[in-house]
């Protein structure tokens, strides 16, 4: 069998690339020693959150945000074409701080995101615990991101 592209890894990324290439008529060989979608993809948290990353440059962030839009369209097309629902959705997400050092880091991240014009809200410890009551009473502060994307992973971590 002749192949145009060899993809190593049958996780969510490898399978997604293979699917897209096959739809475009490319001959693909996909190799993985395990069961498709059962390694890192199975155990991942299932979160796409470029805003949650440490401060980044604008070009990189724009690329990540464009990727979120593409993934939204792609997951809808996948459902329509195959009936596979990855349970992809956009939700808000929190990052929290428990000490002075983490609080300073979140404050820097907040200012950086404000400079980039991104939707982010700075919260007090009380406001964070009102949103997520199971958090430690020692929670000092947090950031609320409106554009966190999630999908079902089926592994240990279930984000909703």
3-class secondary structure per residue, 104-121? HHHHHHHHHHHHCCCCEE
The alpha helices in the chain, defined as continuous H runs, are 12-23, 40-43, 58-82, 100-115, 125-131
Which of 75-79, 129-133, 146-150, 151-155 is most confident?
129-133
Q: Say yes or no: 35 and 66 in one domain.
A: no
pLDDT in the model for residue 44: 58
In whole numbers, what is the pLDDT of the chain averaged over residues? 84
Q: Say yes or no: 81 and 126 in one domain.
A: yes
Q: Say yes or no: 29 and 63 in one domain.
A: no
Share of the chain above pLDDT 70, in %: 85
State the residue range of the domain holding 89: 46-160
Pull the structure tokens for residue 100.
């002075």
Q: Say yes or no: 12 and 53 in one domain.
A: no
Is the pLDDT score of 72 beyond 60? yes
Is the pLDDT score of 134 beyond 60? yes
Q: Say yes or no: 65 and 9 in one domain.
A: no
Element (H, E) at 78: helix 58-82
Residue 26 contacts residue 4 (beta carbons within 8 Å): yes
Q: Say yes or no: 116 and 98 in one domain.
A: yes
Q: Say yes or no: 9 and 68 in one domain.
A: no
What distance lies between CA 128 and its chain's CA centroid? 21
Is the pLDDT score of 46 beyond 80? no
Higher pLDDT, residue 39 or 27: 27
Using pLDDT thresholds of 50, 70 and 90, give the confidence band for residue 98.
very high
Task: Give per-residue burial for 131-153: e unless 16+ CB within 10 Å, then b.
Answer: eeeebeeebbbbbbbebbbbbeb
Lowest mean pLDDT among 72-81, 104-113, 118-127, 135-144: 72-81
Count the alpha carbons within 13 Å of 61 in the hemisphere toward its beta carbon: 15
User: Mind listing the pLDDT tens digit for each residue in 14-35?
Assistant: 888 998 999 999 999 999 998 8
pTM to 2 decimal places: 0.67
Is the pLDDT score of 102 beyond 80? yes
Is the pLDDT score of 149 beyond 60? yes
Q: Say yes or no: 77 and 148 in one domain.
A: yes
Rounded to a whole number, what is the largest CA-CA distance in the chain?
Answer: 62
């Amino acid at each position: 069998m002749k192949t145009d592209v060899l993809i190593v890894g049958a996780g969510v990324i490898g399978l997604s690339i293979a699917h897209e290439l096959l739809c475009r008529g490319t001959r693909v060989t996909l190799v993985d020693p395990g069961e498709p979608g059962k390694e890192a993809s199975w155990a991942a948290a299932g979160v796409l959150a470029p805003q949650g990353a440490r401060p980044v440059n604008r070009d990189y962030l724009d690329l990540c945000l464009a990727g979120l839009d593409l993934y939204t369209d792609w997951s809808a097309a996948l459902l329509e074409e195959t009936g596979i629902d990855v349970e992809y959705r956009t939700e808000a997400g929190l990052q929290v701080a428990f000490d002075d050092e983490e609080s300073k880091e979140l404050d820097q991240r907040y200012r950086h995101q404000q400079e980039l014009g991104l939707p982010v809200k700075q919260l007090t410890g009380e406001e964070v615990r009102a949103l997520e009551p199971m958090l430690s009473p020692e929670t000092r502060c947090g950031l609320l991101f409106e554009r966190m994307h999630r999908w079902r992973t089926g592994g240990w971590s279930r984000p909703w």
